[in-house]
Amino acid sequence: MDLVRIKNVEKKYKNGVTALYDLNLAIEKGAFVFVIGGSGSGKSTLIKMLYREEKPTKGQIIVGGLDVAKLKNRKVYKLRRKLGIVFQDYRLLPKQTVYENVAFALEVIGAKKDEIRVKVLKALEDVGLKHKLHEYPDHLSGGEQQRVAIARAIVNDPKLLLCDEPTGNLDPEMSMEIMKVLEEINNKRGTTIIMVTHDKDIVNKMKKQVITLKEGRLVNFKKKGTYNNEAI
């Protein structure tokens, strides 16, 4: 079963730049997919369209049965509940503890206190940070902060986890730790993961699916891929 279907999608920005041309793609449930390609190849645009930060100018995007471009603004929450998003720069609340940062994602959807506690502790356990729940973000390493951001993204058990260069600010060792955490989430929770990256070593080590974009076009989609030269 496909969790994501992209049909004949074009994205042209208002300034006239076409970021993506006639993109067709299907990503099955439970997949782990890297999106690679040079700067400006359309990677972020693709991710942004999946969470409805941007709308395609042509074509159709289906995520978990929802027709993303056609969703009314007041229904976008239905899509967002199916998704977790992780960014390069963590985006944690500095004055909130680790626990509070993760709990926040559930508080905004009105979850009950007991349910919040159970889910937050489970998410922190899954990222290996249960022992740091009372810490503040600035007392954590970059890798730990990113693990908190991952816990926040998975706390409501989304079907899809979108990661936009999650290891972009981390050294190789911390990057591999993040990759282990993501792989485990993919294996244990069955969460589908789509991750944009520039990191050649990571792509080559993980042997996951690899989508290569070049100048707004999909040029390669491999089931067990490596970082290919078309991405440069």
Per-residue contact flags (x/-) with ligand ADP for residues 26 to 65, judged by CB under 6 A: -----------x-xxxxxxx--------------------
Minimum Å distance from CB 159 to ligand ADP?
23
Q: How far is Cα 3 from Cα 18, in angstroms, rounded to an integer?
A: 26
Bridge-based pairing state of the strands 209-214 and 66-67: unpaired
Nearest 5°: phi and psi at 155?
A: -60, -30
Nearer to ligand ADP, 20 or 123 (CB): 20
Query: Which ranges in the chain belong to alpha helices (H)?
Result: 43-50, 76-80, 98-107, 113-126, 142-154, 172-184, 200-206
Nearer to ligand ADP, 52 or 119 (CB): 52
CB of 19 to ligand ADP, least distance (A): 3
Stretch that binds ligand ADP, among 14-22, 68-76, 82-90, 98-106 (CB under 6 A): 14-22
Coil, helix or strand at residue 199? coil
- Residue 207 to residue 13: CA distance in whole angstroms: 33
Residue with Cβ nearer ligand ADP (128 or 168)? 168
The answer to whether 219 and 230 are in contact (CB under 8 A) is yes
Please, which residues bridge with residue 18 across strands?
12
- 41 vs 186, beta carbon nearer ligand ADP: 41
Q: Count residues contacting ligand ADP (CB under 6 A)?
A: 12
Is 17 among the residues that bind ligand ADP (CB under 6 A)?
A: yes
State the DSSP string of 203-227. HHHH--EEEEEETTEEEEEESS---
Characterize the bridge pairing of strands 32-36 and 192-196: parallel
Measured from the CB atom, the residue of 101 and 167 that comes closer to ligand ADP is: 167
Nearest distance from residue 52's CB to ligand ADP, in Å? 14
Helix ranges restricted to H, 127-226 = 142-154, 172-184, 200-206
Q: Is 19 in the site for ligand ADP (CB under 6 A)?
A: yes
End-to-end CA distance of the chain: 32
Beta bridge partners of 218: 213
CB of 151 to ligand ADP, least distance (A): 25
Among residues 8, 13, 70, 95, the one that binds ligand ADP under rule CB under 6 A: 13
Q: How far is the CB of 10 from ligand ADP (least distance, A)?
A: 12
State the minimum distance, in angstroms, from the CB of residue 100 to ligand ADP. Answer: 31
Rule CB under 6 A: choose which of 1, 15, 74, 188 binds ligand ADP. 15
Interaction site with ligand ADP (CB under 6 A): 13, 15, 17, 19, 37, 39-45
